[in-house]
Amino acid sequence: MLDIRLIRNEPEAVVAALARRGEDTSAIDELVELDGRRRAVTSERDELRAEVNAVSKQVGEAFRDGRREEAEALKAKSKAAGEREKALDAEVAELDEKVRDTLLRIPNLPSADAPDGAGEADNVVLRTVGYDPEAYGEHQRVPHWDIGVELGILDNERATRISGAMFSMYRGAGARLLRALVQLSLDRNGDAYEEIRPPTLVRTDTMISTGHLPKFSDDAYHMERDDLWAIPTAEVPLTSLGAGEILDESDLPMRFMAYTSCFRREAGSAGRDTRGLLRSHEFDKVELLAYAAGEEQGKACQEDVLARSESILTDLGLAYRVVDLCTSDLGNSAARTWDLEAYAPGCDLWLEVSSVSWFSDYQARRANIRYRPADGGPPQVIHTVNGSAMGWPRTWAALVETHRRPDGTITVPEVLRPYLGGGETIGA
């Protein structure tokens, strides 16, 4: 959520920044007005409160000194003020809630260096690595859903029978490959990122902190009976790890990683890109996340996550490109996002396998995570950064398609072999 003081002091700047997203900015004018009213009523209420406090004190003194009559008179005076105060207090509460509700629905301001744009087409490809369209043979032009069936390593037909459309099931070497990918990624990031195994069901508050609620409730699975949400990404519990806390600047940046299932209803995208592993309701992901002291450190952390994710793709022998999301394609909470897209030759698609974002203090303000500056100043809201390392189904797909040999078997990239008992081939 944005800082209300920023909206108050520089509404034009906020409107201009939101306009870069193509966002309707009328909520800002509304907020400025609401906030003004709220502050006026609040100070009026506070004055009355101060009066009640002062008079009450006198009541006590009068009683102690035995001045009964005076005490009774003061009591009546205080009671009258108290009643007016109560009415104003209700009004303040209502305005507070309105301000917060409005604030929660306003997206983050894009970073100054995020490219402007009106849609996906305006995203900027920063670099393409290892891609040569001429280099792929016919044997690599087989989509993973066919390879999966052919080798018996993917069984979405039965997954569908068990859970419905857009669920998947890995089998045998396919399941092992998936686990190897997860483990590789955890192992190589363990030097700097603390491994966490968080809960995958979370409270409403937790979903609000990352910005997944209140606006995007249709995208998430909700367990009505217990009022819990299935996480769409480990970003949700990891971001809230430090909720409500004041950290020491010397401990920052703090870095965490988690391997979890992720659950997405994919409302509105039914039937789109649903073949094979392109899009499913449940998938595995390893997430890297950092708490940073301010913008400079935050941006450095974003670079670190990106570099780490890229190196995994490189080591897996996959072609990929880095895409700088334009302002209109940016997620609600993000200020700057780089997507990593791996090339899958079989389905001839660039698959988004990672999304590395800097959220400035937007999420941390919602989660109320702060740090105490080393110079002793007042607590500051931290910055958050996160990125996938990686989203595994799509990586699995790109890998299987890329490394398919003419005989239909799959070459296991060297880095994965230790995790597969030294095995060099799948499907032999």
Query: Which residues are marked as active site?
Result: 264, 279, 352, 355, 394
Cβ-based nearer residue to RNA, 250 or 271: 250
Query: Is residue 55 close enough to count as binding RNA by CB under 7 A?
Result: yes
d(Cα 115, Cα 123) in Å, to the nearest integer?
7
d(Cα 66, Cα 56) in Å, to the nearest integer?
15
Q: Which of 56, 217, 314, 328 is in the footprint of RNA by CB under 7 A?
A: 56
Cβ-based nearer residue to RNA, 135 or 246: 246
Interface segment toward RNA; rule CB under 7 A; list 49-57, 302-310, 332-340, 404-412? 49-57
Closest CA to 341 of 325, 359, 355, 358: 355
Query: Is residue 47 close enough to count as binding RNA by CB under 7 A?
Result: yes
Element (H, E) at 298: helix 294-315
Taking CB under 7 A as the rule, which mask of x and - marks residues 114-133 in contact with RNA?
--------------------
Cβ-based nearer residue to RNA, 152 or 199: 199
CB 192 within 8 A of CB 201: no
Q: Which of 68, 79, 100, 127 is in the footprint of RNA by CB under 7 A?
A: 79
Query: Is residue 49 close enough to count as binding RNA by CB under 7 A?
Result: yes
Least distance (Å) between residue 113 CB and RNA:
28
Least distance (Å) between residue 192 CB and RNA:
25
Taking CB under 7 A as the rule, which mask of x and - marks residues 242-281 in contact with RNA?
----x-----------------------------------
CB 6 within 8 A of CB 14: yes
Least distance (Å) between residue 422 CB and RNA:
33
CB neighbour class for 9 (10 Å; exposed up to 12, middle 13-18, buried from 19): exposed
Distance between start and end Cα atoms, the chain: 53
d(Cα 341, Cα 336) in Å, to the nearest integer?
16
User: What are the structure tokens assigned to 337, written together?
Assistant: 């996002």
Region 210-229 residues binding RNA, contact defined as CB under 7 A:
none
Least distance (Å) between residue 40 CB and RNA:
9
Q: How far is CA 356 from CA 21, 108, 366, 393, in A?
A: 18, 16, 20, 17
d(Cα 114, Cα 20) in Å, to the nearest integer?
10
What amino acid is encoded at 36 in this protein?
A: G
CB 290 within 8 A of CB 385: yes
Cβ-based nearer residue to RNA, 55 or 301: 55
CB 119 within 8 A of CB 136: no
Interface segment toward RNA; rule CB under 7 A; list 11-19, 41-49, 100-108, 137-145? 41-49
3-state class of 196 per DSSP?
strand
Region 337-356 residues binding RNA, contact defined as CB under 7 A:
none
Closest CA to 390 of 194, 263, 279, 259: 259
d(Cα 305, Cα 368) in Å, to the nearest integer?
23
Interface segment toward RNA; rule CB under 7 A; list 46-54, 116-124, 264-272, 310-318? 46-54
Q: Which of 164, 376, 406, 422 is in the footprint of RNA by CB under 7 A?
A: 376
Interface segment toward RNA; rule CB under 7 A; list 45-53, 165-173, 216-224, 395-403? 45-53
Angle at 306 between CA 418 and CA 181, to 5 degrees: 25
Q: Which of 2, 31, 59, 364 is in the footprint of RNA by CB under 7 A?
A: 59
Number of residues that bind RNA (CB under 7 A): 32
User: What does the binding site for RNA look like in residue numbers (CB under 7 A)?
Assistant: 4-5, 8, 39, 42-43, 45-47, 49-50, 52-57, 59-60, 63-64, 75, 78-79, 82, 93, 246, 370, 372, 376, 378-379
